[in-house]
Amino acid sequence: MKPRLVVLTGAGISAESGLRTFRDSDGLWEGYNVYEVASPQGWQKDPQLVLDFYNQRRRDVKAAMPNAAHLGLAALQEQFDVEIITQNIDDLHERAGSKKVLHLHGEIFSMRSVLDEHRKYRIISDINIGDKAADGGQLRPDIVWFGEAVPKIEEAAAVVMTADVFAVIGTSLVVYPAAGLVDYLPEGTLAFVIDRKLPQMPQMSNLMKIEKPATEGIADMIKALEGLI
Protein backbone atom coordinates (compact mmCIF):
# COMPACT_ATOMS: atom_id res chain seq x y z
CA MET A 1 0.00 0.00 0.00
CA LYS A 2 1.45 3.35 -1.04
CA PRO A 3 2.03 6.06 1.57
CA ARG A 4 -0.46 8.92 1.27
CA LEU A 5 0.84 12.31 0.12
CA VAL A 6 -1.60 15.20 0.52
CA VAL A 7 -0.67 18.46 -1.20
CA LEU A 8 -2.24 21.91 -0.74
CA THR A 9 -1.42 24.16 -3.70
CA GLY A 10 -2.02 27.83 -4.37
CA ALA A 11 -1.39 30.43 -7.02
CA GLY A 12 2.39 30.18 -6.74
CA ILE A 13 2.46 26.82 -8.49
CA SER A 14 0.64 28.19 -11.54
CA ALA A 15 2.46 31.54 -11.60
CA GLU A 16 5.39 29.85 -13.31
CA SER A 17 2.99 28.86 -16.11
CA GLY A 18 2.15 32.55 -16.59
CA LEU A 19 -1.09 32.68 -14.60
CA ARG A 20 -1.06 35.64 -12.25
CA THR A 21 -2.79 36.07 -8.92
CA PHE A 22 -4.22 39.15 -7.26
CA ARG A 23 -1.99 38.47 -4.25
CA ASP A 24 0.98 39.58 -6.37
CA SER A 25 -0.43 43.07 -6.90
CA ASP A 26 -1.99 44.52 -3.75
CA GLY A 27 -5.56 43.37 -4.19
CA LEU A 28 -5.63 43.86 -7.95
CA TRP A 29 -6.16 40.90 -10.25
CA GLU A 30 -5.15 41.68 -13.85
CA GLY A 31 -5.82 45.34 -13.08
CA TYR A 32 -9.21 44.82 -11.43
CA ASN A 33 -10.18 45.25 -7.80
CA VAL A 34 -10.92 41.67 -6.77
CA TYR A 35 -14.24 42.60 -5.16
CA GLU A 36 -15.48 44.01 -8.48
CA VAL A 37 -14.94 40.70 -10.25
CA ALA A 38 -14.92 38.05 -7.50
CA SER A 39 -17.80 38.79 -5.12
CA PRO A 40 -21.59 38.45 -5.17
CA GLN A 41 -21.80 42.25 -4.86
CA GLY A 42 -19.61 42.71 -7.93
CA TRP A 43 -21.83 40.29 -9.86
CA GLN A 44 -24.98 42.15 -8.86
CA LYS A 45 -23.44 45.50 -9.79
CA ASP A 46 -21.98 44.55 -13.19
CA PRO A 47 -22.43 40.93 -14.32
CA GLN A 48 -21.05 41.74 -17.77
CA LEU A 49 -17.75 42.89 -16.25
CA VAL A 50 -17.53 39.68 -14.20
CA LEU A 51 -18.28 37.47 -17.22
CA ASP A 52 -15.74 39.35 -19.35
CA PHE A 53 -13.12 38.94 -16.64
CA TYR A 54 -13.60 35.18 -16.30
CA ASN A 55 -13.91 34.67 -20.04
CA GLN A 56 -10.40 36.14 -20.32
CA ARG A 57 -9.15 33.98 -17.44
CA ARG A 58 -10.51 30.94 -19.29
CA ARG A 59 -8.58 31.93 -22.42
CA ASP A 60 -5.45 32.44 -20.33
CA VAL A 61 -5.74 28.98 -18.77
CA LYS A 62 -6.31 27.35 -22.15
CA ALA A 63 -3.12 28.98 -23.43
CA ALA A 64 -1.05 28.01 -20.35
CA MET A 65 0.85 24.74 -19.98
CA PRO A 66 1.65 22.68 -16.88
CA ASN A 67 5.13 23.40 -15.56
CA ALA A 68 7.75 21.20 -13.89
CA ALA A 69 6.02 21.56 -10.51
CA HIS A 70 2.70 20.20 -11.82
CA LEU A 71 4.54 17.41 -13.65
CA GLY A 72 6.63 16.56 -10.60
CA LEU A 73 3.56 16.06 -8.43
CA ALA A 74 1.96 13.87 -11.11
CA ALA A 75 5.13 11.74 -11.30
CA LEU A 76 5.00 11.14 -7.53
CA GLN A 77 1.83 9.09 -8.09
CA GLU A 78 4.10 6.14 -8.95
CA GLN A 79 5.37 5.96 -5.37
CA PHE A 80 2.60 7.70 -3.40
CA ASP A 81 -1.16 7.84 -3.20
CA VAL A 82 -1.26 11.54 -4.07
CA GLU A 83 -4.27 13.75 -3.42
CA ILE A 84 -4.05 17.42 -4.37
CA ILE A 85 -6.22 20.06 -2.74
CA THR A 86 -5.89 23.20 -4.82
CA GLN A 87 -7.06 26.76 -4.32
CA ASN A 88 -6.50 27.31 -8.05
CA ILE A 89 -9.30 27.41 -10.61
CA ASP A 90 -7.11 26.21 -13.50
CA ASP A 91 -6.79 22.61 -14.71
CA LEU A 92 -3.00 22.42 -14.90
CA HIS A 93 -2.76 19.65 -12.29
CA GLU A 94 -5.14 17.51 -14.32
CA ARG A 95 -3.36 18.22 -17.59
CA ALA A 96 -0.06 17.26 -15.95
CA GLY A 97 -1.57 13.87 -15.16
CA SER A 98 -2.66 14.13 -11.51
CA LYS A 99 -5.63 11.83 -10.91
CA LYS A 100 -7.01 13.09 -7.58
CA VAL A 101 -7.56 16.85 -7.54
CA LEU A 102 -10.02 18.64 -5.27
CA HIS A 103 -10.75 22.24 -6.31
CA LEU A 104 -11.64 24.27 -3.23
CA HIS A 105 -12.52 27.48 -5.04
CA GLY A 106 -14.18 26.14 -8.16
CA GLU A 107 -13.07 25.54 -11.74
CA ILE A 108 -12.71 27.94 -14.66
CA PHE A 109 -14.05 25.31 -17.09
CA SER A 110 -17.30 24.91 -15.15
CA MET A 111 -20.36 27.15 -14.99
CA ARG A 112 -23.54 26.98 -12.96
CA SER A 113 -27.02 28.39 -12.63
CA VAL A 114 -27.46 31.41 -10.35
CA LEU A 115 -30.59 29.65 -9.05
CA ASP A 116 -28.99 26.29 -8.18
CA GLU A 117 -25.32 25.87 -7.30
CA HIS A 118 -25.55 22.15 -8.04
CA ARG A 119 -26.73 22.65 -11.65
CA LYS A 120 -23.36 22.72 -13.36
CA TYR A 121 -22.09 22.49 -16.92
CA ARG A 122 -18.69 22.29 -18.57
CA ILE A 123 -17.63 25.38 -20.53
CA ILE A 124 -14.53 25.91 -22.67
CA SER A 125 -15.60 29.08 -24.50
CA ASP A 126 -17.31 32.24 -23.22
CA ILE A 127 -20.30 32.72 -20.95
CA ASN A 128 -22.59 35.55 -22.10
CA ILE A 129 -25.46 37.50 -20.59
CA GLY A 130 -28.60 35.62 -21.59
CA ASP A 131 -26.98 32.17 -21.45
CA LYS A 132 -29.40 30.21 -19.29
CA ALA A 133 -29.33 26.93 -17.40
CA ALA A 134 -32.15 24.42 -17.80
CA ASP A 135 -33.89 25.98 -14.78
CA GLY A 136 -33.91 29.40 -16.45
CA GLY A 137 -31.18 30.86 -14.28
CA GLN A 138 -28.40 32.98 -15.79
CA LEU A 139 -25.17 31.01 -16.03
CA ARG A 140 -22.21 32.27 -13.99
CA PRO A 141 -18.68 30.99 -13.43
CA ASP A 142 -18.57 28.02 -11.07
CA ILE A 143 -16.13 29.90 -8.83
CA VAL A 144 -16.31 30.47 -5.07
CA TRP A 145 -16.28 34.23 -4.67
CA PHE A 146 -15.32 36.28 -1.61
CA GLY A 147 -18.17 36.12 0.88
CA GLU A 148 -19.44 32.74 -0.38
CA ALA A 149 -19.21 29.42 1.43
CA VAL A 150 -16.55 26.91 0.40
CA PRO A 151 -18.63 23.74 -0.14
CA LYS A 152 -15.67 21.32 -0.28
CA ILE A 153 -13.81 22.52 2.82
CA GLU A 154 -15.03 19.66 5.05
CA GLU A 155 -14.07 17.09 2.41
CA ALA A 156 -10.64 18.71 2.16
CA ALA A 157 -10.17 18.66 5.95
CA ALA A 158 -10.98 14.95 6.00
CA VAL A 159 -8.33 14.35 3.30
CA VAL A 160 -5.66 16.25 5.27
CA MET A 161 -6.33 14.06 8.31
CA THR A 162 -5.31 10.97 6.28
CA ALA A 163 -1.87 12.29 5.26
CA ASP A 164 1.31 10.30 5.82
CA VAL A 165 3.20 13.16 4.16
CA PHE A 166 1.86 16.69 3.65
CA ALA A 167 3.05 19.55 1.45
CA VAL A 168 2.02 23.20 1.16
CA ILE A 169 3.13 24.64 -2.18
CA GLY A 170 2.77 28.14 -3.58
CA THR A 171 0.20 29.54 -1.19
CA SER A 172 0.42 32.50 1.18
CA LEU A 173 -1.95 30.80 3.67
CA VAL A 174 -3.90 34.02 4.18
CA VAL A 175 -7.19 33.04 2.51
CA TYR A 176 -9.56 31.26 4.87
CA PRO A 177 -10.96 28.70 5.32
CA ALA A 178 -8.31 27.07 3.06
CA ALA A 179 -5.46 28.31 5.24
CA GLY A 180 -6.96 26.52 8.24
CA LEU A 181 -6.53 23.11 6.62
CA VAL A 182 -3.01 22.80 8.04
CA ASP A 183 -4.58 22.57 11.51
CA TYR A 184 -6.09 19.18 10.60
CA LEU A 185 -2.71 17.56 9.98
CA PRO A 186 -1.96 14.67 12.37
CA GLU A 187 0.75 15.63 14.86
CA GLY A 188 4.23 14.48 13.84
CA THR A 189 3.39 14.07 10.15
CA LEU A 190 6.31 14.83 7.82
CA ALA A 191 5.46 18.16 6.18
CA PHE A 192 7.00 20.37 3.51
CA VAL A 193 6.36 24.04 2.80
CA ILE A 194 7.56 25.38 -0.53
CA ASP A 195 7.27 28.93 -1.78
CA ARG A 196 9.34 31.79 -3.12
CA LYS A 197 8.40 33.58 0.11
CA LEU A 198 7.52 31.13 2.88
CA PRO A 199 4.15 31.63 4.61
CA GLN A 200 3.68 31.51 8.37
CA MET A 201 3.16 27.89 9.40
CA PRO A 202 2.00 26.44 12.73
CA GLN A 203 4.66 24.93 14.99
CA MET A 204 5.41 21.46 13.62
CA SER A 205 7.93 18.93 14.85
CA ASN A 206 8.64 17.50 11.41
CA LEU A 207 8.59 20.43 8.96
CA MET A 208 10.98 20.95 6.06
CA LYS A 209 11.07 24.52 4.69
CA ILE A 210 12.11 25.11 1.07
CA GLU A 211 12.24 28.78 0.13
CA LYS A 212 12.27 28.44 -3.64
CA PRO A 213 9.85 28.75 -6.57
CA ALA A 214 7.56 25.72 -6.90
CA THR A 215 9.41 24.21 -9.87
CA GLU A 216 12.72 24.15 -7.97
CA GLY A 217 11.25 23.37 -4.57
CA ILE A 218 9.32 20.31 -5.71
CA ALA A 219 12.50 18.88 -7.19
CA ASP A 220 14.10 19.27 -3.74
CA MET A 221 11.08 17.66 -2.08
CA ILE A 222 11.22 14.68 -4.44
CA LYS A 223 14.88 14.12 -3.52
CA ALA A 224 14.03 14.30 0.19
CA LEU A 225 11.21 11.79 -0.28
CA GLU A 226 13.42 9.25 -2.04
CA GLY A 227 14.58 7.94 1.32
CA LEU A 228 11.00 7.18 2.30
CA ILE A 229 10.06 5.13 -0.75
Residue 122 marked ligand-binding:
no
Residue 11 marked ligand-binding:
yes
Alpha-carbon gap, residue 75 to 126, rounded angstroms: 33
Alpha-carbon gap, residue 163 to 152, rounded angstroms: 17
Residue 30 marked ligand-binding:
no
Residue 20 marked ligand-binding:
yes
Residue 110 marked ligand-binding:
no
Residue 145 marked ligand-binding:
no
Residue 16 marked ligand-binding:
yes
Q: Are 184 and 8 a contacting pair, CB within 8 Å?
A: no
70, 93, 103, 105: the active-site residue: 105
105 as an active site residue: the answer is yes
Cβ contacts of 189 within 8 Å, gap of 6 or more: 163, 164, 165, 166, 204, 206
Residue 215 marked ligand-binding:
no
DSSP-based three-state secondary structure for 192: strand
**Number of other CB atoms surrounding residue 211 within 10 Å:** 12
Cβ contacts of 4 within 8 Å, gap of 6 or more: 80, 81, 83, 162, 163, 164, 165
Minimal CA–CA distance to 127: which of 146, 143, 149?
143
Bridge partners, residue 97, by sequence: none
Residue 31 marked ligand-binding:
no
Residue 227 marked ligand-binding:
no
**Number of other CB atoms surrounding residue 65 within 10 Å:** 11
Residue 56 marked ligand-binding:
no
Annotated binding site for substrate: 54, 57
Annotated binding site for NAD(+): 10-29, 87-90, 170-172, 214
Residues annotated as catalytic are 105
